[in-house]
């Protein structure tokens, strides 16, 4: 089986982790501070706060911005569910805006029609590592006095107009699950230039403590800490970030070469003024294929030893969102149409050209089999 994703762990990472185990500090130690500084410097922001997941990072930002019950946050329905669940954690309401059919990011031309007196923020996602339209998002936020959150969980290394993703909003996040550009096993990072957001998030990730006695808690907080072991792993990965991103770019180039002539499929494309650090290699089938066709293609690929997935199901059609908000099919047609025809292929740093050849050969065969299949 060729897996959908796979971490790139070397002896450097193993030695870094083992070195932590020879110390007496397994949490809140020097590697935490170093990892935060490393990410902040890489992105080009003043502050970073390491936490135990990208989801926790988003939650703390929502909390730090004072978003509360009955407030509304505009966001995208085409994302991993954390980007809207983090709003629900504070009993605010995610207000979805459909996506651009070319970039798969939130359609900025449709945002202003969704702004109400209850709107407090926009939470945009750099989907699959593809930067959103941050100039437009910043202009809309400024015009309507809204806060701006960047979910850059999938976009470490991506750039918009030569500026690293993560730093375009009031605060942003990265995630370090094993399928991301770098991994800490589990983990996430808040990045911001706002000192108040930084201090609040740093306190809340550690049970609401400020720089005070260990058993003194200044506000409601959480145990969202990231261990020294995780931070050591992240530091070793960041020491290799240029090589890691170059490997991933190479995999993209090989895939593109193998798949460029398939007329019934759209492959990831470059965009002007954007450097795209792909999180996943996602192709889109043409409208000759139904959702059932797509699902059968994924099933056949799996049977032949190629792990694939349907990235991503629409958030608004997830069972919990249907129950809570009464969404229905057709509410966000661009998102839904895209979601029914996307396939995420295996994508990771050390995927070989031989393996990509096998993947694409089987994909072509299976696509031909199901082309124009009337189900």
Average pLDDT, the chain: 97
In the chain, what are the domain boundaries? 11-239, 241-370
Q: Token pair for residue 146?
A: 């809204």
Residues 6+ apart with CB under 8 A from 188: 50, 51, 52, 53, 54, 55, 56, 57, 153, 173, 174, 175, 176, 226
The string of DSSP codes covering 232-245 is HHHHHHHHTHHHHH
Tell me, yes or no, if the two domains 11-239 and 241-370 fold the same way.
no
Q: For tokens 């991103």, what's the residue?
A: 245
* Residue 374: predicted pLDDT: 47
Question: 241-370: which CATH topology?
Answer: 3.90.1150
pLDDT tens figures, 60-111: 999 999 999 999 999 999 999 999 999 999 999 999 999 999 999 999 999 9
* Residue 212: predicted pLDDT: 73
The CA distances from residue 188 to 44, 185, 228, in Å, are 17, 10, 13
* Residue 373: predicted pLDDT: 63
CA 240 to chain centre: 20
* Residue 375: predicted pLDDT: 43
Q: Which of 170, 130, 182, 112 is nearest to 348 (CA)?
A: 182
Is residue 97 within 8 A of residue 76, CB to CB? The reply is yes
Distance CA 9, CA 271 (A): 31
Distance CA 69, CA 21 (A): 43
Q: Given a cut of 60, is residue 118 above it in pLDDT?
A: yes
Q: Which of 218, 189, 184 is nearest to 204 (CA)?
A: 218
Mean pLDDT of 30-57: 98
pLDDT tens figures, 201-255: 999 999 999 977 889 999 999 999 999 999 999 999 999 999 999 999 999 999 9
* Residue 247: predicted pLDDT: 98
Is 183 in a helix, a strand, or coil? coil
- Span 11-239: which CATH code? 3.40.640.10
Q: Which of 40, 372, 20 is nearest to 197 (CA)?
A: 40
Q: What is the 3-state composition of the chain as percent helix, strand, coil, each rounded to the nearest 5?
A: 40, 15, 45
pLDDT tens figures, 338-363: 999 999 999 999 999 999 999 999 99
The CA distances from residue 30 to 23, 26, 344, in Å, are 11, 10, 38
Distance CA 134, CA 103 (A): 13
pLDDT tens figures, 275-307: 999 999 999 999 999 999 999 999 999 999 999
Distance CA 155, CA 119 (A): 26
Q: Token pair for residue 297?
A: 């293609």
* Residue 372: predicted pLDDT: 60
Residues 6+ apart with CB under 8 A from 320: none
Distance CA 285, CA 337 (A): 10
């Amino acid at each position: 089986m060729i897996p959908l994703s796979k971490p790139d762990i070397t002896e450097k990472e193993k030695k870094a982790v083992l070195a932590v185990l020879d110390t007496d500090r397994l949490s809140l130690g020097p590697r935490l501070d170093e990892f935060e500084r490393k990410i902040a410097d890489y992105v080009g922001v003043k502050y970073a706060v390491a936490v135990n997941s990208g989801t926790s990072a988003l939650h703390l930002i929502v909390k730090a911005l004072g978003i509360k019950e009955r407030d509304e946050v505009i966001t995208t329905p085409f994302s991993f569910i954390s980007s809207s669940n983090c709003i629900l954690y504070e009993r605010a309401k995610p207000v979805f805006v459909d996506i651009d059919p070319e970039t798969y990011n939130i359609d900025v031309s449709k945002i202003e029609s969704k702004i109400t007196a209850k709107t407090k923020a926009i939470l945009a996602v750099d989907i699959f590592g593809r930067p959103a339209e941050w100039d437009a998002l910043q202009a809309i936020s400024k015009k309507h006095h809204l806060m701006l959150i960047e979910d850059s969980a999938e976009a470490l290394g991506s750039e918009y107009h030569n500026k690293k993703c993560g730093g375009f909003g009031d605060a942003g996040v990265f995630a370090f699950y094993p399928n991301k550009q770098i991994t800490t096993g589990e983990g996430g990072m808040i990045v911001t230039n706002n000192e108040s957001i930084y201090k609040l998030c740093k306190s809340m990730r550690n049970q609401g403590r400020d720089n005070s006695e260990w058993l003194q808690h200044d506000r409601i907080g959480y145990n969202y800490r990231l261990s020294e072991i995780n931070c050591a792993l992240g530091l070793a990965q960041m020491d290799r970030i240029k090589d890691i991103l170059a490997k991933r770019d190479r995999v993209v180039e090989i895939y593109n070469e193998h798949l460029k002539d398939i007329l019934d499929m759209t492959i990831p494309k470059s965009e002007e003024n954007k450097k795209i650090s792909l999180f996943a290699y996602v192709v889109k089938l043409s409208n000759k294929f139904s959702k059932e066709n797509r699902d059968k293609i994924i099933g056949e690929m799996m049977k032949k030893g190629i792990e694939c997935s349907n990235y991503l199901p629409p958030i608004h059609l997830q069972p919990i969102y249907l129950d809570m908000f009464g969404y229905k099919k057709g509410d966000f047609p661009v998102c839904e149409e895209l979601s029914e025809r996307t396939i995420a292929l295996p994508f990771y740093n050390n995927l070989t050209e031989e393996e990509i050849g096998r993947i694409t050969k089987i994909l072509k065969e299976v696509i031909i089999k199901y082309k124009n299949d009337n189900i």
